[in-house]
């Protein structure tokens, strides 16, 4: 019990720091790929600090409630995961956090926010099935949905469910809202609907959104790490290296591929889910 509390406390305290550094690294690497000097590594922290100091303008007070709920649900989701909880509950809470953000965008009654919210719901349709299949895949490996049981298996889960990893890495680009799937909101200037999902969110609310995104990024990379962690302590180092490589791959994809239309995103995500994850699950069922 004490160890669980410690893990949760470490996540709550350290995840925004690690997430901010990941965001800063993404900006630095992107700038280098584009031949620019780019911002400093700590620029995301400077941005959030400035947002917290700015005046918050809201269309209605319910927007504040939804944004704070998004942050709370995201922290709860990560705490449940790193505390060794039920994977199904983790993914259910993750879905609820996304719904809160969509409701926050809808509550502004702004055209750009509403369009961004619509696209966010479409993106959820693309990655939610894969997230559920990942939970099923982990169950096939450990015989349990509990994270604490999964990290005690004899060999890394990736050996049995490589298709699940491929599918999860694909939808991770959608989840991180990176090109070619940055439709609901974008980190770049080419977005045709301003900032989409966050167009009408400002000041403290936007800072809370950014912090929630940092928590979410750490959670997503934690799930990636679960494919490599087993009872062998060395596997933790392997998992960290794998997370760094895959995160840099996401940055590379973001800078190389142009944005696609929503139908291309929907079709490609479902094809990858069916071929990679579905085939992997079918093979596991036959072998069992």
What is residue 173's predicted lDDT score, i.e. its pLDDT?
Answer: 92
- Is residue 49 within 8 A of residue 16, CB to CB? The reply is no
With cut-offs at 50, 70 and 90, classify the pLDDT of residue 2: confident
264 or 286, which is more confident = 264
pTM over 0.85: yes
Residue 57's SS3 state is coil
The rounded distance, in Å, linking the Cα atoms of 247 and 244 is 5
What is residue 192's predicted lDDT score, i.e. its pLDDT?
Answer: 60
Helix (H) or strand (E) holding 277: none
What is residue 20's predicted lDDT score, i.e. its pLDDT?
Answer: 95
> What average pLDDT does range 234-242 have in this prediction?
95
Extents of the domains making up the chain: 2-287
State yes or no: pLDDT of 184 exceeds 80.
Answer: no
What is residue 15's predicted lDDT score, i.e. its pLDDT?
Answer: 96
For 110-153, what is each residue's pLDDT tens digit? 888 888 888 889 999 999 989 989 999 999 888 888 999 988 89
The rounded distance, in Å, linking the Cα atoms of 194 and 113 is 9
């Amino acid at each position: 019990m004490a160890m669980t509390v410690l893990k949760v406390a470490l996540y709550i305290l350290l995840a925004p720091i690690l997430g901010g550094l990941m965001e800063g690294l993404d900006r630095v690497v992107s700038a280098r790929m584009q031949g620019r000097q780019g911002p400093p590594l700590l620029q995301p922290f400077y941005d959030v600090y400035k947002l917290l100091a700015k005046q918050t303008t809201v269309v209605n007070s319910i927007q504040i409630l939804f944004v704070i709920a998004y942050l709370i649900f995201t922290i709860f989701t990560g705490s449940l995961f790193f505390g060794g909880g039920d994977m199904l509950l983790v993914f259910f809470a993750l879905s609820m956090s996304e719904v809160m953000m969509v409701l926050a965008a809808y509550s502004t009654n702004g055209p750009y926010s509403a369009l961004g919210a619509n696209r966010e719901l479409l993106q959820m349709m693309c990655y939610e099935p894969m997230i559920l299949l990942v939970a099923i895949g982990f169950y096939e490996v450990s015989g349990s949905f509990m994270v604490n049981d999964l990290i005690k298996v004899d060999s890394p889960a990736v050996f049995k469910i490589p298709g699940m990893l491929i599918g999860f890495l694909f939808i991770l680009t959608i989840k991180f809202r990176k090109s070619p799937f940055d439709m609901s909101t974008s980190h770049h200037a080419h977005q045709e609907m301003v900032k989409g999902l966050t167009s009408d969110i400002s000041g403290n609310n936007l800072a809370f959104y950014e912090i929630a995104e940092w928590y979410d990024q750490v959670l997503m990379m934690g799930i990636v790490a679960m494919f490599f962690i087993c009872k062998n302590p060395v596997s933790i180092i392997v998992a960290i290296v794998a997370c760094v490589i895959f995160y840099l791959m996401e940055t590379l994809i973001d800078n190389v591929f142009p944005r696609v239309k929503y139908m291309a995103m929907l079709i490609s995500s479902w094809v990858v889910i069916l071929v990679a994850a579905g085939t992997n699950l079918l093979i596991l069922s036959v072998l069992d």
